[in-house]
């Protein structure tokens, strides 16, 4: 199956009450692990690519070619979208030109009028090409220079305004943050999420910062209209942990254990296990 826009897969997920995982990819191993897990468990999936990760992997075109080649090679039959994560205005345009099937334009740091104007422009370009667009209102917190920001709480009225554009999904800050949650985290503002879900015309909502949100909160969020859940750090943590164990056990020094195909296997297997656990939690298994 060719890569697809995320529009239909998320509209269906929202309608049927499950979530589709966006798993951020960092290299070939990551991409292969996510695609094979989605195929094995017959789950739709979104490959998230930040501008930084795209730069690391050799640019947007390299990413698109790698994903397309791999999908053909492994006969991937489930719906897969390649999605720009937290794109800038120029980055979103470049990703669309390079063949991404979905983009996020993160205008949450602009005043709402400017965010809406810029999002509208991206939507116009995207719609002509059948590409899905994610908009964001209310910033997502996270670590910057060692300080963990709490994350903003989106304004419901601003969500309602931006949802009037022809966007395919909306990310709204509800106290979620990227990376692990601090011990004193107050949890997701379910009251705000519920209100946003009720006032945005059934647009699939996006939950960023999927690492470390308790399972019951994830399920409750899905019940209020979340149809896409982003997971990045958790895969990085399990990959690093499994790789560390392999090396600390001296396995890289045994036989040809230094061969990257062996050295990176425990980490890749750990990503596959985490992706499967998330797909089970989001209830996207057997939905493709
Ligand atoms: P985590 O790194 O916390 O899983 O968040 C991922 C994310 O929201 C990407 O946009």
> Which residue, among 96, 12, 31, has the nearest Cα to 272 in the 3D structure?
31
pLDDT in tens, 17-58: 999 999 999 999 999 999 999 999 999 999 999 999 999 999
Neighbours of 221 (CB within 10 A): 24
Tokens of 133: 């667009």
Q: Which pLDDT score is estimated for 224?
A: 98
Evaluate whether 174 touches 189 at the Cβ level (below 8 Å): yes
Whether 231 lines ligand 1, by a CB cut-off of 6 Å, is: yes
Evaluate whether 218 touches 207 at the Cβ level (below 8 Å): yes
The 8-class DSSP code of residue 168 comes to S
Atom of ligand 1 minimally distant from the CA of 178: 3
Q: How far is the CA of 46 from the centre of ligand 1 (A)?
A: 13
Q: How far is the CA of 179 from the centre of ligand 1 (A)?
A: 6
The 8-class DSSP code of residue 252 comes to G
pLDDT in tens, 145-174: 566 667 789 999 999 999 999 999 999 999
pLDDT in tens, 67-88: 999 999 999 999 999 999 999 9
Q: Which pLDDT score is estimated for 151?
A: 77
Tell me the average pLDDT of the chain.
96
The rounded Cα 180 to chain-centroid distance in angstroms is: 16
Compute the average pLDDT of residues 233-261: 98
Q: Which pLDDT score is estimated for 145?
A: 56
Atom of ligand 1 minimally distant from the CA of 142: 3
Atom of ligand 1 minimally distant from the CA of 212: 3
Distance CA 209, CA 233 (A): 8
* For the chain, domain boundaries: 7-232
Distance CA 137, CA 194 (A): 15
- Total number of residues shown for the chain: 288
Distance CA 127, CA 144 (A): 34
In sequence order, the β-bridge partners of residue 46 are 22, 81
User: Angle between the 215-223 and 190-199 helix axes, to the nearest 10 degrees?
Assistant: 20
Annotated catalytic sites, by residue? 85
Q: How far is the CA of 86 from the centre of ligand 1 (A)?
A: 10
User: What does pTM read for this prediction?
Assistant: 0.97
Compute the average pLDDT of residues 94-122: 97
Evaluate whether 200 touches 159 at the Cβ level (below 8 Å): yes
Q: How far is the CA of 249 from the centre of ligand 1 (A)?
A: 30
Residues 6+ apart with CB under 8 A from 64: 3, 82, 98, 99, 100
Q: Which pLDDT score is estimated for 102?
A: 98
Whether 274 lines ligand 1, by a CB cut-off of 6 Å, is: no
More confident residue, 121 or 150: 121
Which of the four pLDDT bands, split at 50, 70 and 90, describes residue 141? confident
In sequence order, the β-bridge partners of residue 87 are 105
Best probe residue, ligand 1, of 138, 230, 275, 282 (max atoms within 8 Å of C-beta): 230
What proportion of the chain, given as a percentage, has pLDDT over 90? Answer: 92
pLDDT in tens, 204-227: 999 999 999 999 999 999 999 999
Evaluate whether 9 touches 79 at the Cβ level (below 8 Å): yes
Q: Which CATH class is domain 7-232?
A: alpha beta
Tokens of 256: 């040809």
């Amino acid at each position: 199956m060719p890569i697809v826009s995320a529009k239909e897969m998320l509209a269906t997920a929202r309608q049927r009450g499950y979530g589709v995982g966006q798993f951020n990819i960092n290299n070939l191993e990551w991409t292969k692990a996510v695609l094979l897990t989605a195929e094995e468990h017959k789950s739709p999936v979104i490959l998230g690519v930040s501008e930084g990760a795209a730069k690391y992997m050799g640019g947007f075109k390299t990413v698109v070619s790698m994903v397309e080649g791999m999908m053909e090679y492994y006969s991937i039959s489930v719906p897969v979208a390649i999605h720009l994560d937290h794109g800038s205005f120029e980055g979103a345009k470049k990703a669309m030109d390079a063949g991404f099937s979905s983009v996020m334009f993160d205008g949450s740091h602009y005043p709402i009028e400017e965010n809406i104007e810029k999002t509208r422009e991206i939507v116009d370009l995207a719609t002509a090409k059948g590409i899905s667009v994610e908009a964001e209102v209310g910033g997502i917190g996270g670590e910057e220079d060692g300080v963990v920001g709490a994350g903003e709480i989106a304004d419901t009225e601003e969500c309602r305004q931006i949802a009037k554009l022809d966007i395919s999904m909306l990310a709204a800050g509800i106290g979620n943050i990227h990376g692990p949650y601090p011990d004193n985290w107050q949890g997701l503002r379910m009251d705000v999420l519920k209100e946003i879900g009720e006032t945005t015309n059934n647009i699939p909502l996006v939950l960023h910062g999927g690492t470390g949100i308790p399972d019951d909160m994830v399920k409750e969020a899905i019940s209020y209209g979340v149809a896409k859940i982003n997971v990045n750090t958790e895969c990085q943590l399990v990959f690093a942990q499994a790789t560390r164990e392999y090396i600390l056990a001296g396995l890289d020094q045994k036989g040809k254990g230094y061969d990257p195909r062996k050295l990176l296997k425990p980490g890749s297997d750990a990503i596959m296990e985490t992706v499967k656990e998330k797909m089970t939690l989001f209830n996207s298994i057997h939905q493709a």
